[in-house]
Amino acid sequence: MRALLMWTISDFPAYGMLSGWSTHGILSCPYCQDVTDAFQLRNRRKGCWFDCHRRFLPSRHPYRRSRTLFTKDKKVFDAPPPEIDGSAILDQLRDFGAEMTAYCGGNGHEPVYGASEVHNWHKKSIFWELPYWKDHLLRHNLDVMHVEKNFFENIMNTILNVQGKTKDKYEI
């Protein structure tokens, strides 16, 4: 008898643990990787991805041309970054060895220079040892129900100003 792991289903933080891609910091989007429009909020040191993913919409979509619904006076003409297949990811992870440092925030590893300038891998997942893993089109799925639950709880706790649960904090 033979078994095959088709994909994993998890929430976003677990995706980071399973895949080896850090889901913290500016480079946390696994689709954009190092070609991101993310920015840091002033006074907060928090990464923000607001208005970074309109480029994935079809080129004639009205949201791409909207100047009022998203970032003020900004139209999006950029194409999405090229899709990276499994063999290219495996090339990035070849001879991988991230060194733990206290210097870097987020995943606690120093930036690892590889296939492009910098990437956000913090470990090589054991799944890459499977001979067919690089050929999968969809290796990891996000559990929508879990993500919706977390999102709803964060929004409601912030709106209702629940002590210790709100995400609305101003730090200087």
pLDDT in tens, 75-133: 888 888 888 888 888 887 776 655 444 444 445 555 555 434 456 777 788 888 888 88
Going by C-beta distance under 8 Å and a sequence separation of 6 or more, which residues neighbour residue 121?
A: 20, 21, 22, 92, 93, 96, 98, 112, 114
3-state secondary structure of 48: strand
**Is a pLDDT exceeding 70 seen at residue 63?**
yes
Phi, psi angles (nearest 5°) of residue 12: -65, -45
Distance CA(121)–CA(10), nearest Å, equals: 18
| Region for 161 from its dihedrals, namely left if φ exceeds 0, alpha if ψ lies in -120 to 50, beta otherwise | left
Banded pLDDT at 159 (limits 50, 70, 90): confident
Report the mean per-residue pLDDT for the chain.
74
Across the range 152-157, mean pLDDT stands at 83
Banded pLDDT at 74 (limits 50, 70, 90): confident
Distance CA(41)–CA(23), nearest Å, equals: 17
Banded pLDDT at 1 (limits 50, 70, 90): low
User: Higher pLDDT residue, 82 or 9?
Assistant: 82
| Region for 73 from its dihedrals, namely left if φ exceeds 0, alpha if ψ lies in -120 to 50, beta otherwise | left
Q: What is the pLDDT of residue 97?
A: 58
